[in-house]
Amino acid sequence: MKFENTLRFARLQDKKDPLRKYRDQFLFPKHNRREAVYFTGNSLGLQPSTVSKYIQQELDDWAKFGVEGHFYARKPWMPYHEQFAKPVAKIVGAKPSEVVVMNHLTVNLHLLMVSFYRPTKKRFKIICEAKAFPSDQYALQSQVKFHGLNPKDAIVEVAQRKGEYAIREEDIISAIEKNKNELALVLFGGVNYYSGQVFDMKMIAAAGHKAGAIVGFDLAHAAGNIKINLHDWNVDFACWCSYKYLNSGPGNVAGLFVHEKHHKEKNIPRFAGWWGHDKASRFKMEKNFVPLQTAEAWQISNAPVISMAAHKASVDIFDEVGMNALVTKSKQLTSYLEFIIEDINAQVNNKKFYLEIITPKERGCQLSIVAHGQGKGLFNKLMSKGVIPDWREPNVIRCAPVPLYNSFEDIFRFGQILEAAL
Ligand SMILES: Cc1ncc(COP(=O)(O)O)c(C=O)c1O
């Protein structure tokens, strides 16, 4: 598509956009009584306008039925989490039996590592990306220490080469091959939170398996953003949060994937709770844990229904739209943002003050931008003019035009404000 930096062009694209009606299903923060240019769906997605109705329904059923709501609520609470299996499986490319919605992201990562990081004297290393999200780094370090090992010996980070922002695939492969005799686990993000780089999960899974390791992914920045096929890629496990692209509200419930090949493993270590126990005998309240033969076996507690109602409101929208349509629009929007930024660079034409997009072509909707010669002042100016991107130390502005609710006009407006700010 040939882009133009004009309001007319942007509005024309919005008119042609088959997903344009979804914008009206989200609540935008306002700036001077106008909708802000919200580019932070990679951090906290906007609220679907149906959320309050979904939550109110559970509050009403709680008032009406009390404890009996577990059976008689319109969406009975006892199997409440089960309604997520199909739509969430579609988002991450899994079988419904391979996913479960529970807890929070880092909690789930820990629970999965209990099962899938089982270091031996010989195989004890974890390969991960350098500059992984800090919570993931802390999780890895503490798991390694929990097994009596030293993170310095056990954690191998694959870093960007000097002067580069993306991690090269060949460097990931060569790190795996180099450490293959000692490798227990490969744990990568699906999309790096800082640079927006999408990792080739299929390739990493194949390389990790070839080396005899387990392979898992943190999909915080991938779920609802890019096409994922966890089952077909033979990924062992994955986890994600629901508050970014999945628009389910601050700190809301997270998700977890365990490939079906692990469901029947008898001696897999696992921290257990009653919601992972066989459903037929759960309420016999007997002594011994009998795990379900699905990802639900990793579930520990009963579902937090009221907050999960917000997740349901959002997942219903994803189910209606589908990832294919979202990704198609996402590519157009992000390419338009890239075009606008390059157009501004050309107009400003200053070697000291320019915007460098550090996100590689392997990307979802996020572009990470280094504003050379500008610093945080530029970010503050954008915020004061009604643009909401986010700032990551030491010098990156992240912008994520989200296909469910952002428009071409948002991007055009962003360009105008950015150019004026420069
Ligand atoms: C990649 C990644 N991992 C982990 C986390 C931490 O998530 P939580 O606080 O939900 O455990 C985040 C949060 O933004 C993240 O982006």
Q: Which two structure tokens, joined as six digits, stand for 193?
A: 């939170």
| Chain-centre distance for alpha carbon 167 | 19
- Report pLDDT digits (tens) over 299-347: 999 999 999 999 999 999 999 999 999 999 999 999 999 999 999 999 9
pTM value is: 0.96
The reported pLDDT for the residue numbered 374 is: 85
> With a 6 A CB cut-off, is 220 part of the ligand 1 pocket?
yes
Q: Helix or strand or coil: residue 178?
A: helix
The reported pLDDT for the residue numbered 93 is: 98
Closest atom of ligand 1 relative to the 43 alpha carbon: 14
Q: Would the pLDDT of 39 be above 90?
A: yes
- As a 3-state breakdown, the chain gives helix, strand, coil percent values, each rounded to 5, of 45, 15, 40
Task: Find all residues with CB under 8 Å of 8, minimum gap 6, and list them.
Answer: none
Q: Backbone dihedral region of 4: left (phi > 0), alpha (psi from -120 to 50 degrees) or beta?
A: beta
Q: Which two structure tokens, joined as six digits, stand for 218?
A: 């943190």
Residue of 1 and 70 predicted with greater confidence = 70
The reported pLDDT for the residue numbered 114 is: 98
The whole-number average pLDDT for the span 339-357 is 91
| pLDDT, mean over the chain | 96
Q: Would the pLDDT of 251 be above 90?
A: yes
Cβ neighbours of 8 (radius 10 Å): 9
What pairs with residue 26 in β-bridges?
48
Testing ligand 1's pocket by substitution, the residue of 44, 106, 107, 242 carrying the most ligand atoms inside 8 A of its CB is: 106
> With a 6 A CB cut-off, is 191 part of the ligand 1 pocket?
no
The reported pLDDT for the residue numbered 394 is: 86
Spacing, Cα 106 to ligand 1 middle (Å):
6
Q: How many CA atoms lie within 13 A of 212 on its CB side?
A: 14
Alpha-carbon span 94 to 326, nearest angstrom = 18
Q: Would the pLDDT of 131 be above 90?
A: no
Q: Is-contact 191 364, C-beta < 8 A?
A: yes
Q: Would the pLDDT of 262 be above 90?
A: yes
Q: Which amino acid is at 291?
A: P
The reported pLDDT for the residue numbered 96 is: 98
